[in-house]
Amino acid sequence: MALTLSVKPIEMESGYNLVLLHERDAEELGVYVGDRVRLSSPSSSLVAAVNLTGEMVGRGEVGTLLEVSRRMGLKAGDRVTVSPLPPPVSVEAIRKKMEGKRLTGEEIGEIVRDIVQNNLTPTEISAFVVAEYTRGMSMEEIVSLTLQMVETGERLRLERGPVVDVHSIGGVPGNKYALVTVPIAVAGGLTVPKTSSRAITSAAGTADVMEVLANVSFSLGEIKEIVERVGGVIVWGGSVSLAPADDLLIRTERVLRIDPPCQMLASVMAKKLAEGVEHLLIDLPTGPGAKVREAEEARSLAQDFMELGRRLRVRVEVALTYGGQPLGRAVGPALEAREALEALAGGGPNSLREKALSLAGVMLEMGGRAPLGRGREAAWELLRSGKAEEKMREMIEAQGGDPKVKPEDLPVGDKRATVEAPSDGYVTHLYNERITAIACAAGAPRSRGAGLRLFVKRGHKVNRGEKLFEIYAEHESKLEEALKVVSRSFPMRIEGMMLERLSDRPREW
C-alpha cells in the first residue's frame, strides 16, 4: 500500500527524519505514531518516522521537517510516494541489549549506522543508551562499537607527530586542565589534535571554556591546517564528522544526565582513533563526588581503557587524579577561562597548576620528548619560561581569537551574590554535585559568564560571616534560582573540631 502525497515543508528541526501525516491518510496507510515510512521521489529516497496531525497538514499532504526536506531536496508542492515500512533491524538489536544479551558486531553496526542516518527516533536512541547504562557491554562489544563509530565518520590524517592526546572522563567542577596541559605539551614538541565535548553533566566542558577565548567549530580540513601549522588545537568534536554517532548519543546522555561506562570507553577511543592518535593519556578523577568514587573502581576502569587501547593498537596510559573537590576555584566557562590564562602566566591556584603539569609531564614522556621520570620537570620549564603561554596564544590566534586577551578582559555575569559561612569551623567537605547544580542553575554553560568562584576549599578554617563563594549570573532570575539551590543543598560542610558528642548518661544529668 502506498500513497502519492503533496509536500508541505515544515520549518522546524527535530534532530531525526520525521514527517507529519494527516490522521486519515495514516489510517489508510495503516501506520501509527512512531512507525516508519519510505518517501520516494524521482531523484531520492529516505526513511522517516511518522507523527500524526489533524490540522498542520491536510489530507493528501505530507509535512516534511527540515531534515527530510534538505536531504531529499524537496520544496512545496513536490509529489512523493509514501509507503509503510517495518522497523529497522537495529530496533530488535536494541531490544536484545535491553534484555541483557550480547550483541554481534553486525548488530552493533546496524545500530550505529541507523543513528548516523537518523533512522532511529529519540525514544529508540534513549532506549539504547539506557540499556548500555543498565546492562553494560563486554569488551568485544565495546571494540565493535568503537570501530563502527569510527567507520561511519571521517578521519584526520596528520603528517607531523608524534600525535598524543589527553582526555578526562570529567565529573569534577572546574576541570579546565586541558587549557594548560595542551599548550605545555605542544610547546614541548608534541602534536595534539584535542577535540573536546561540550558539557554533558557539568557546568562547562573543555569546548565551552575554550570557546570563551576562540572559535571551536571548524571543518576537518581547517583543523588539519591549524594543527600542521601550530602543533595543536582545542576544538569542539561535534563540529566535524569524527565518529558522528558519538555526538548524537551525547545529546541523549545530556538529557538523561547519564554517562554509561561502556559508551564512554567507546566514545573516547573512537574519537581518538579518528584523530590518528598514537598515544593517549586518560585522566581519571577519583574521590567523593567524582564519577569514580573509589580507587578500586578507578583502577578497574583504567584497566578497561588500557585493554581497549591494546586491542585497537593505541598506547594508553591512565592517570588517577584527585577528584574529591573542584579543580581550582572557578566553575563556569568564562571564570574557568580566566583561571586557565592565569595559570599559563604562572599564577592561578596550585591544584590546577599541579594537575596540568603532572598530565603534561606524562604526555611528554609518552611522546618521547622527555626522559622517563623527567616529564614533570620538562613541563614545569615550559610553563616557567613562558613558552606554554606563548603557544596557547598562538593557538588562540589560529582559532580566530585575540592572542593578546587578558583574564580580566573576559566578561562574567554582573548579577552576583556572595554566600557566607553560617558558623565558625573548618571546611570538612565540598559536594561536587551541589556545586555543579548551583553553577548550572545560574545559567552555565549556556550563559558563558555564569558560574561560581570559591574563596575557600577543604581544610580551610573559616569564621562566621566569612565569604565562602560568590555566584555569577547574567540574569536576575537565574541568580535567584541558584540561591534557591544553595538553600536546599548547601555545597559545603563546616564543622568544629568536635564532630559529635556521645554519652550514655541520663538526659537529666
| 361-411 pLDDT per residue, tens | 999 999 999 999 999 999 999 999 999 999 999 999 999 999 999 999 999
- Mean pLDDT over 428-435 rounds to 95
The alpha carbon torsion through 200, 338, 319, 293 (nearest 10 deg) reads: -50
**Sign of the CA dihedral 212, 213, 219, 223?**
negative
Report d(CA 285, CA 290) in Å as an integer.
Answer: 6
Q: Which domains does the chain have, with CATH numbers?
A: 3-85 (2.40.40.20), 89-136 (no CATH), 164-244+253-407 (3.40.1030.10), 415-495 (3.90.1170.30)
Q: What is the mean pLDDT of the chain?
A: 94
Phi, psi for residue 104 in degrees, rounded to 5: -80, 165
Higher pLDDT, 171 or 480: 480
Nearest-5° Cα angle at 172, 447 to 210: 45
Position 390 scores a pLDDT of: 98
Q: Over the stretch 69-119, which tens digit does the pLDDT of each residue have?
A: 999 999 999 999 999 999 889 999 999 999 999 999 999 999 999 999 888
pTM listed for this prediction: 0.88
Q: Coil, strand or helix: which one is 18? A: strand
* Strands 451-454, 467-473: pairing kind: antiparallel
Q: Over the stretch 293-302, which tens digit does the pLDDT of each residue have?
A: 999 999 999 9
Position 379 scores a pLDDT of: 98
**Predicted confidence band at 213 (pLDDT cuts at 50, 70, 90)?**
very high
The alpha carbon torsion through 442, 443, 445, 447 (nearest 10 deg) reads: -120
Position 199 scores a pLDDT of: 82
> Quick check: is 259 catalytic?
yes
Q: What is the secondary structure of 312-356 as a DSSP string? A: HT-EEEEEEEE-SS-SSSEESHHHHHHHHHHHHTT-S-HHHHHHH
Q: Over the stretch 485-509, which tens digit does the pLDDT of each residue have?
A: 999 999 999 998 665 667 776 655 4
**Predicted confidence band at 259 (pLDDT cuts at 50, 70, 90)?**
confident
Tell me how far apart the 2 most distant CA atoms of the chain are, in Å.
94
The 10 Å CB-count burial string (b at 16+, else e) for 214-243 is bbbebebebbbebbeebbbbbbbbbbbbbb
* Strands 61-65, 18-22: pairing kind: antiparallel
Position 507 scores a pLDDT of: 55
Check 246, 247, 259, 304 and give the catalytic one. Answer: 259
Position 508 scores a pLDDT of: 57
Position 499 scores a pLDDT of: 58
